[in-house]
């Protein structure tokens, strides 16, 4: 290992892997087969005419293919369609500490992603493994106790992220399989009843079959929505609509969701004549996600869904539900992270709802905030940019 | 006349209770359902099942841990207990060993459910 003369920090040039790179035209199917066949292959840089072009990472490519049922969609497409086309690129002379600081500042989904290295002419030289950089830095920092603590903290942070991802996989697997298992079971029972002619249980089986199928659809939609947002493929369609009608629509759905619970659900709507120019579908989804959460996590009391239009559209959902502990508020919007342990939690769901909600709000250029008291209730506030069209009064 | 053998199913999910019940009854066995991880020891001792299916993901007490608790009861050391779950098969296989279950059955795999029940209880 060589060190910068002044700061004595390790340089990255000794840590570069010079393995192969692939062209952006490589087919997704060819690459995924390689990932399957070569378990030690973590990532392949995509290089065009000697310049870095992108990065194909094992976990992201295989996850994309798996969760979007993607072989049919992407198998015959070039890798550039689903690979990361904005990988982190560093210059060969940068210091290890500098590179690691940048690498760790990335979104946590990207922290493990390999880093591409270029020379003075910006041409591709090789790639760096973040894990190896962390190990090297740890070795180097071990000489200084204070800095060693920093290295340990970082290693722990990475372990934590790893744990979140592992628990997500277990969680989503269960949430997808559970309704599928029920659907298969009820289909089999209906077949049996058809054969033996005993019809007594048939209406109950059909109703549970249908609710499991709808539950499955909701989960699949959530996963597809999230991957669409994360892939940057969610588009905004602005249209004119009535705010009050939208609130009424959400209210009706919530009443169905509440079923027999002793819950009072109210809407607080401004001037019924107000027409908004905004993305109706996404606004509805945001409001419905928050309101259906309120129903899900409240056993009794009042839920108020309110809207107000100033220079922005303000939406609020207030409930008298289980509330959220202060220390858990931060984790609330983290993907796949329901606050309860998956094995023992009381509430069904993928833990994707609030993540999708927040991503949709960000996509629309808005903001979300939450106030909550554990055991008392929660209030979610959303502001979204919009333009209003007050109804013109027709002269009689 | 032989006494009808009994399978006890512990699961908090109504859909899975009913499907397993229907399929096992279709094999000619009696089924008792219990819809939470609580008061299970009592139910098991009262029902005296010939086989026990336990769901894993349940509120408050996971089924795999419940399995090892039941296993500690002197009367239940030889009762066939299976984890019955939608979890990943690799995890189930490990949990079954770790928590002293006789095996596991993946929800949705009807042929496995029938096969395991008939393996333990024979043909009615």
Q: What is the CATH number of the domain that holds A265?
A: 3.30.565.10
Q: What is the pLDDT of residue A129?
A: 85
CB interface of A with B, residues 116-175, below 8 Å: 169-170, 173-174
Instruction: Note whether A186 contacts B19, CB cutoff 8 Å.
Output: yes
Q: pLDDT tens digits for B95-116?
A: 999 999 999 999 999 999 999 9
- The C-alpha angle A61, A135, A10, rounded to 5 degrees, equals 110
With CA atoms as reference, the chain A residue closest to B57 would be A343
State yes or no: pLDDT of A288 exceeds 90. yes
Q: pLDDT tens digits for A76-104?
A: 888 888 888 888 999 888 888 888 888 88
- Count of residues in chain A: 396
Selected from 3.30.2320.30, 3.40.190.10, 3.20.20.70, 3.40.50.2300, the CATH number assigned to the domain covering B6-121 reads: 3.40.50.2300
Q: What percent of chain A has pLDDT over 70?
A: 86
Shared-domain flag, residues A363 and A246: yes
Kindly state the average pLDDT of the residues B64-78: 91
Q: Does B106 lie at the interface with A, CB-CB under 8 angstroms?
A: yes
Interface pTM, i.e. ipTM: 0.87
State yes or no: pLDDT of B32 exceeds 90. yes
Q: What is the pLDDT of residue B36?
A: 87
**Residue A331 counted as domain residue:** yes
State yes or no: pLDDT of A116 exceeds 50. yes
Q: What is the pLDDT of residue A378?
A: 93
Instruction: Note whether A343 contacts B108, CB cutoff 8 Å.
Output: no
Average pLDDT across chain B, whole number: 93
Q: What is the pLDDT of residue A4?
A: 44
Average pLDDT across chain A, whole number: 83
Q: Which residues contact A35 (CB under 8 A, 6 or more apart)?
A: A41, A58, A61, A62
In sequence order, the β-bridge partners of residue A369 are A381
Measured between beta carbons, which residues in chain A are less than 8 angstroms from residue B13? 178, 182
Measured between beta carbons, which residues in chain B are less than 8 angstroms from residue A186? 15, 18-19
Question: Please, which pLDDT band fits residue A6 given cuts at 50, 70 and 90?
Answer: very low
Lowest mean pLDDT among A33-42, A58-67, A202-211, B92-101: A58-67
State yes or no: pLDDT of A184 exceeds 50. yes
In sequence order, the β-bridge partners of residue A377 are A373
Of A51, A72, A202, A189, nearest to A119 by C-alpha is A51
Q: What is the pLDDT of residue A350?
A: 63
If one counts the domains in chain A, the total is 3
Q: What is the pLDDT of residue A342?
A: 56
Q: Does B111 lie at the interface with A, CB-CB under 8 angstroms?
A: no
Q: Does B56 lie at the interface with A, CB-CB under 8 angstroms?
A: yes
Q: What is the pLDDT of residue A340?
A: 57
Shared-domain flag, residues A271 and A381: yes
Instruction: Note whether B13 contacts A181, CB cutoff 8 Å.
Output: no
Compute how many other C-beta atoms are within 10 angstroms of the C-beta atom of residue A355.
Answer: 22
State yes or no: pLDDT of A356 exceeds 50. yes
Nearest neighbour of B57 by CB, restricted to A185, A201, A342: A342
Q: Does B108 lie at the interface with A, CB-CB under 8 angstroms?
A: yes
Instruction: Note whether A205 contacts B18, CB cutoff 8 Å.
Output: yes
- Residue with the bigger pLDDT between A377 and A331: it is A377
What letter does residue A12 receive in the DSSP assignment? G
With CA atoms as reference, the chain B residue closest to A202 would be B22
Shared-domain flag, residues A180 and A254: no
**Residue A153 counted as domain residue:** no
Instruction: Note whether A208 contacts B62, CB cutoff 8 Å.
Output: no
Q: Does A344 lie at the interface with B, CB-CB under 8 angstroms?
A: yes
SS3 A274: coil
Instruction: Note whether A342 contacts B88, CB cutoff 8 Å.
Output: no
| Alpha helices, H only, chain B | 14-26, 40-47, 63-71, 89-98, 110-121
Kindly state the average pLDDT of the residues A270-292: 90
């Amino acid at each position: 290992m060589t060190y910068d003369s002044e700061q004595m920090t390790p340089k990255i040039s000794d840590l570069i892997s010079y393995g192969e790179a692939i062209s952006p035209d490589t087919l997704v199917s060819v690459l995924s087969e390689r990932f399957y066949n070569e378990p030690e292959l973590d990532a392949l840089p995509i290089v065009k005419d000697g310049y870095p072009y992108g990065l194909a990472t094992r976990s992201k490519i295989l996850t994309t293919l798996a969760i979007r049922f993607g072989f049919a969609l992407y198998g015959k497409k070039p890798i550039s369609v689903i690979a990361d086309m904005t990988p982190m690129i560093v210059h060969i002379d940068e210091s290890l500490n500098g590179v690691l600081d940048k690498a760790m500042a990335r979104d946590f989904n990207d922290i493990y992603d390999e880093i591409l290295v270029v020379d003075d002419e910006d041409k591709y030289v090789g790639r760096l493994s973040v894990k190896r950089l962390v190990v090297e830095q740890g070795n180097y920092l071990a000489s200084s106790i204070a800095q060693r603590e920093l290295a340990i903290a970082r290693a722990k942070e990475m372990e934590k992220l790893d744990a979140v991802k592992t628990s997500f996989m277990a969680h989503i697997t269960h949430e997808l399989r559970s309704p599928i298992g029920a659907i298969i079971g009820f289909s089999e029972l209906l077949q049996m009843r058809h054969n033996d002619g005993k019809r007594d249980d048939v209406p109950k089986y059909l109703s549970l079959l249908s609710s499991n199928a709808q539950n499955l659809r909701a989960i699949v939609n959530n996963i597809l929505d999230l991957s669409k947002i994360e892939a940057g493929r969610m588009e905004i369609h602005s249209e004119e609509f009535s705010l009050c009608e939208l609130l009424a629509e959400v209210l009706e759905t919530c009443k169905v969701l509440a079923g027999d619970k002793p819950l009072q659900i109210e809407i607080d709507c401004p001037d019924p004549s107000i027409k908004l120019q905004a993305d109706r579908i996404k606004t509805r989804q945001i409001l419905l996600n928050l309101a259906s959460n309120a129903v899900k996590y409240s056993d009794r009391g009042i839920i108020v869904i309110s809207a107000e239009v100033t220079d922005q559209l303000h939406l609020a959902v207030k409930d008298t539900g289980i509330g959220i502990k202060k220390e858990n508020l931060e984790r609330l919007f983290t993907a796949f992270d329901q606050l309860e342990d998956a094995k023992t939690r009381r509430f069904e769901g993928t833990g994707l709802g609030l993540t999708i909600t927040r991503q949709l709000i960000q996509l629309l250029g808005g903001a979300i905030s939450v106030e909550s008291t554990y055991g008392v209730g929660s209030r979610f506030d959303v502001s979204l940019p919009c333009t209003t069209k007050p109804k013109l009064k027709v002269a009689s | 006349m032989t006494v009808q053998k009994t399978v006890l199913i512990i699961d908090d999910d109504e859909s899975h209770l009913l499907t397993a019940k229907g399929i096992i009854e279709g094999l000619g066995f009696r089924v008792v359902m219990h819809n939470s991880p609580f008061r299970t020891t009592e139910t098991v001792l009262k029902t005296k099942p010939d086989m026990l299916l336990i769901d894993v993901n349940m509120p408050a007490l996971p089924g795999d841990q419940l399995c090892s608790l039941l296993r500690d009861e002197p009367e239940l050391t030889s009762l066939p207990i299976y984890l019955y779950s939608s979890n990943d098969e690799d995890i189930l296989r490990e949990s079954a060993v770790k928590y002293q279950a006789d095996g596991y059955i993946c929800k949705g795999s009807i042929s496995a459910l029938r096969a395991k029940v008939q393996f333990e209880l024979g043909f009615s």
